[in-house]
A and B are shown apart, each in its own frame.
Chain A
Amino acid sequence: MLRKRIIPCLDVAGGRVVKGTHFRELRDQGDPVELARAYSSQGADEVVFLDIDAAPQERGTLVDIVERTAYEVFIPFTVGGGIREVDEIRALLRAGADKISIQTAAVQRPELITEGARVYGSQCIVVAIDAKREADDGWQVYTHGGRQPADIEAVAWAKEAQRRGAGEILLTSIDADGTRRGYDLALTREVADAVNIPVIASGGAGHPQDLAAVLVEGHADAALAASIFHEGRFSISETKQYLRNRGIPVR
């Protein structure tokens, strides 16, 4: 039986792992490669690196992190943050990344999904969606690190991403991100039920029970979390034990 995946997310800026609240107030949390290796040995199912600088001049740093990670870590890892061109996808896959997450550029130019999937296969194209709850009961897609509304409805965009060849959706609730009060279950369920590709839920994890909730009630295929693991409140193995005890299939 396919296991539910637990994925620590490493927000990278200037070659370090950082974490903020509502995409702001960044705090240093360590060396990305070291953290990725530690998480892998604790039983993480995958690792995600998000380059939150996403400055073109910093791309060399990111490629270097990817190369070093590929050399030491033997679980899949995804890289995202400001990726706009098929050439950048190629460079990061060559450096050893397994999947590339695209977000703002996918909204601005959806053909990037199609092109990436055609050249490298759907399995390595993850479309990241940052969504914010709107007053009228739906969720709006935001780009540029959660700052700019894209005027697209999140569920419709997830379907469009799938149609264009995305292999997975990485879905972040801007409202829940950094709050540690749990994932946006309604958003996750809406999206997970609307598409036939795996959905990775993100934003809001504060306790293993939040991961349990999003994997069961939220219908997510995987749960991504950052500070809960980085700050050592719960280890990956503790979290997995908690999920296992509740009958959720984990590795």
Chain B
Amino acid sequence: MITIVDFGAGNMRSIENALERIGTPVRIAATPEAVASADALILPGVGAAAPAMARLRERKLAAQIVDAIANGVPFLGICLGMQLLFERSAEDGASCLGVFPGSVERMVTTEKLPHVGWNTIDVTRPHPVLSPLDGEAMYFVHSYAVVPANRDLIIAETSHGGPFVSAIAADQVVAVQFHPERSGQAGLRLLESFVRFAGVGAAHVA
């Protein structure tokens, strides 16, 4: 069973549908208790960091997510759900969850922003969730990207008029800047590989 954190700022529905498609039972969690009892967590999110953090704190989910990660619960952050893991976001000066040292900065590029569309992920450090997807195009939509203080966190990069961090991992935590739930078959394969990594039940692509 995978638990998706519901904090009212998400494309939860599409992630839920994608997990159902690969045969993974899903639960939606909007309370700290539900997050605390999760076997594996997905933190989704679109939009800006400050309102998202406000909602996570209001609903007392922020501290619970940090605890779950500290307790080794397998975790997948998607897009804003990746960015929130860092200390702060330059987008609106928001202070975030601070699981990892580092910040979220506006992308430095000569190309158009937002970075919208399909772009390649280049795996820079082998990882069971990302390695099977090395070189695949995934769907991105964002203008900010994470800048980890510790570059060892980085497992994949993508280029948009310059490289940026498209995936990070540490212990049981994986986080991606793109949207696997919107990346067609490649995205479903990534979710499958996360489900296997999390050890929360077999998955298969229908």
- Residues of A that sit less than 8 Å from B by CB: 1-5, 40, 45, 70-72, 74-76, 93-96, 98, 119-124, 167-168, 196-198, 221-222, 251
Say yes or no: A121 contacts B48, CB within 8 Å: yes
Given A3-B137, A120-B46, A74 and B183 contact (CB-CB distance below 8 Å): yes
- Interface size bracket, B side: 20 to 34
Given A96-B17, A121-B48, A74 and B187 contact (CB-CB distance below 8 Å): yes
Say yes or no: B188 contacts A98, CB within 8 Å: no
Cα A45 to Cα B117 in complex, Å, equals 8
Given A123-B142, A196-B112, A198-B112, A74 and B46 contact (CB-CB distance below 8 Å): no
Say yes or no: B46 contacts A121, CB within 8 Å: yes
Q: Which residues of the other chain, B, contact A95 by a CB distance below 8 angstroms? A: 13
Given A2-B160, A74-B182, A96-B13, A167 and B137 contact (CB-CB distance below 8 Å): no
Report B160 CB to chain A, min CB distance, Å: 6
Cα A5 to Cα B184 in complex, Å, equals 14
Flag whether B47 is at the interface (Cβ < 8 A).
yes
Flag whether B18 is at the interface (Cβ < 8 A).
yes
Flag whether B116 is at the interface (Cβ < 8 A).
yes
Q: Which residues of the other chain, A, contact B119 by a CB distance below 8 angstroms? A: 1-3
Among candidates A2, A124, A196, residue contacting B46 with C-beta atoms closer than 8 Å: A124
How does the 8 Å CB contact mask read for B126-166 relative to A, with 1 for contact and 0 for none? 00000000000101011100000000000000011000000
Say yes or no: B182 contacts A1, CB within 8 Å: no
Flag whether B106 is at the interface (Cβ < 8 A).
no
Q: Which residues of the other chain, B, contact A197 by a CB distance below 8 angstroms? A: 112-114
Say yes or no: B113 contacts A196, CB within 8 Å: yes
Q: Which residues of the other chain, B, contact A124 by a CB distance below 8 angstroms? A: 46
Cα A2 to Cα B182 in complex, Å, equals 16
Q: Which residues of the other chain, A, contact B159 by a CB distance below 8 angstroms? A: 1
Q: Which residues of the other chain, B, contact A72 by a CB distance below 8 angstroms? A: 17
Among candidates B47, B112, B118, residue contacting A121 with C-beta atoms closer than 8 Å: B47
Say yes or no: B120 contacts A221, CB within 8 Å: no
**Interface core residue of A3, A4, A222 (most chain B CB under 10 Å):** A3
Q: Which residues of the other chain, A, contact B18 by a CB distance below 8 angstroms? A: 74
Cα A124 to Cα B14 in complex, Å, equals 14
Q: Which residues of the other chain, A, contact B187 by a CB distance below 8 angstroms? A: 74
- Chief secondary structure at chain B's binding surface: mixed
Show 22 A/B contacts (Cβ-Cβ < 8 Å), sorted by A.
Answer: A1-B119, A1-B120, A2-B115, A2-B117, A2-B118, A5-B117, A70-B17, A72-B17, A74-B188, A75-B184, A96-B17, A119-B47, A121-B47, A122-B114, A123-B46, A123-B47, A167-B114, A198-B112, A198-B116, A198-B117, A222-B117, A251-B137
Q: Which residues of the other chain, B, contact A119 by a CB distance below 8 angstroms? A: 47
11 further A-B pairs in the complex, CB-CB below 8 A; given A40-B184, A122-B114: A1-B119, A2-B118, A3-B118, A74-B17, A74-B183, A74-B188, A121-B48, A123-B46, A167-B141, A197-B114, A251-B137
Within 1-42 of B, Cβ neighbours of A (below 8 Å) are at 11, 13-14, 17-18, 21
Given A70-B13, A74-B182, A96-B17, A123 and B141 contact (CB-CB distance below 8 Å): yes
Report A40 CB to chain B, min CB distance, Å: 7
Report B145 CB to chain A, min CB distance, Å: 14
Cα A221 to Cα B140 in complex, Å, equals 14
**Interface core residue of B48, B139, B142 (most chain A CB under 10 Å):** B139
Cα A209 to Cα B159 in complex, Å, equals 27
